[in-house]
Chain A
Amino acid sequence: NAGVTQTPKFRVLKTGQSMTLLCAQDMNHEYMYWYRQDPGMGLRLIHYSVGEGTTAKGEVPDGYNVSRLKKQNFLLGLESAAPSQTSVYFCASSPGAPSYNEQFFGPGTRLTVL
């Protein structure tokens, strides 16, 4: 049981390049989330999904797109990377049951945009 895994762990991009971050969970969780963490800002929600085939915007969605084609995977895409997207990205998942509120996080992806 690997929990939540993220690929890749590190990446350096040039401005304007595109990339996709992959999140996978093996806990059969309904809900999945993408956050970014910047110094002093805590974690901010980019997009989330409450089930396979669904996505919704979070607090800071601009410049990102997501897809949830399979229940266990949640992809985060950057179509044209900008230096402001330099950050550490965390994926999380949750059972989504009303009485269960904990989110389980992956180890993070450190992205640098030059």
Chain B
Amino acid sequence: DQQVKQNSPSLSVQEGRISILNCDYTNSMFDYFLWYKKYPAEGPTFLISISSIKDKNEDGRFTVFLNKSAKHLSLHIVPSQPGDSAVYFCAVLNNNAGNMLTFGGGTRLMVKP
């Protein structure tokens, strides 16, 4: 049973518009929530994170929202740029287990010029 789910395998957005990527999780005991970005033939790179005690974290064009009651995480990218085209993975961290990350299946974002 997947603990972290990204229900949209792909998303297409026009340049300059908002991209919203969603993630659902099952365990309310997770400590941190992270987003990673992955380009083809490269390893994932860290994008942004949020602690379980917060509901919003912003870094430039990227904002992550956490809704604990709904066990839902979202990443907003505003404005979207063609260079944002990549696969985005959400991940949850369990501090009690070697800082293990559990990843969702990923969403491929395509930003059209």
Interface, chain A (partner B; CB < 8 A): 4, 31, 33, 35, 40-45, 48, 50, 56, 58-59, 90, 92, 94, 96, 98, 101-108
Contacts and interface: CB of A to CB of B under 8 A. Distances in A.
Contacts of A104: 46
Given A42-B105, A103-B46, A105-B45, A48 B98 contact: yes
Nearest to B89: A42
Interface residues of B, number: 26
Residue among B4, B34, B45, B105 with max Cβ neighbours from chain A (10 Å): B105
Given A48-B100, A94-B99, A98-B95, A107 B9 contact: no
B39 to A, nearest CB: 10
Contacts of A45: 100-102
B43 A105 contact: yes
Given A40-B105, A42-B106, A101-B93, A31 B98 contact: yes
B25 interface: no
